[in-house]
Amino acid sequence: MNRCLKQIYGGIVTENPTFVLMLGMCPTLAVTTEARNGLGMGISTAAVLILSNMLVSMLRNIIPGNVRIPAYIVIVATLVTVAGFIMQAYFKHIYDALGVYVPLIVVNCIILGRAEGFASKHDVVLSVCDGLGMGTGFTLGLTVIGAVREFLGKGTLFDYDINNNILGGSFTPVSIMVLAPGAFFVLAFICAVRNSMIRSDRKNVKSCQSDVAGNTDEKCMGNCMVCPGNCRESNR
């Protein structure tokens, strides 16, 4: 498997920003009352992430190191502004539902983290693949959480009334699932299921250390998000 496919796979599975790295929790918990909202927020963030990774990688040798973070924020803010205009024009109902969380994409730690930790150190193609993987993983995470909360809280899925049309009204929605506590319940349950399926031990850190030692000059901090995209979970 080439490096591009590994980056995509890593962002979706082994380094999923929602269920593994636990990044971007503010929109994850706030906007996932419905699957549609989660999907809309995920796609918007993914588009900005892919384009920002591409631009940062293209300009990595031009932007001075002492102003790189402000420069990244300007790039991301420009992309988010364009994304907001597009959503207002063509997806007004989703834009209204997401509210302030659309402009807050500018300071999403996933986007700035990948710009600083990966795109600024790798070529354009690999950076785009990284953005695609992380963006897809984030979108899937938000959509899954939103779908579970919407079904359990309303008996619907993407506004389709499953409870009455398929289950014959036999299911009683649990209203707390569309409230703030429901987001924590669903996120915790999904993470617990994922963790029960993957053995968690020191092998991950050892793999990260050996990978970094063989491919970069940077010292491993014991957190694969710190490393420039070379580390992957070794568990099977």
Q: Do residues 146 and 32 lie in contact, with contact meaning Cβ atoms separated by under 8 Å?
A: yes
192 inside domain: no
pLDDT in tens, 104-159: 999 899 999 999 999 999 999 999 999 999 999 999 999 999 999 999 999 999 98
pLDDT for the residue 159: 87
Residue 215 included in any domain? yes
Three-state secondary structure along 169-214?
A: CCCCCCHHHHCHHHHHHHHHHHHHHHHHHCCCCCHHHHHHHHHHHH
Return the CA Rg of the chain: 19
Separation of CA 109 from chain center: 10
Mean pLDDT of the chain: 85
And the tokens for 71? Answer: 């420069």
Does residue 165 fall inside a structural domain?
no
Q: Is the pLDDT reported for residue 16 higher than 80?
A: yes
**Domains identified in the chain, total number:** 2
Q: Are residues 48 and 27 in the same domain?
A: yes
In a domain, 220, yes or no: yes
Instruction: Please tell me whether residues 210 and 107 are part of one structural domain.
Output: no
pLDDT recorded at residue 158: 92
- Is residue 164 in some structural domain? no
- Indicate whether 35 and 99 sit together in one domain: yes
In a domain, 125, yes or no: yes
In this predicted structure, the answer to whether residue 80 has a pLDDT above a threshold of 50 is yes
Q: Do both 112 and 206 map to the same domain?
A: no
35 and 141 assigned to the same domain:
yes
Please give the Cα distance from 148 to 153 (Å, whole number): 8
Closest CA to 143 of 158, 132, 129, 156: 158
Packing angle, helices 35-59 and 68-90, rounded to 10: 140
Give me the domain span that covers residue 116.
3-159+174-187
Please indicate, yes or no, whether residues 178 and 202 belong to a single structural domain of this protein: no
Strand duo 156-157 + 160-161: pairing? antiparallel
- Each as own residue / partner, the long-range contacts of residues 65-68 (CB below 8 Å, 24 or more positions apart, any chain) are 68/116, 68/120
Residues 45 and 100 reside in one and the same domain: yes
Instruction: Note whether 153 and 221 are same-domain residues.
Output: no
Residue 166 domain-assigned (yes or no): no
pLDDT in tens, 190-214: 999 988 887 654 455 555 555 544 5
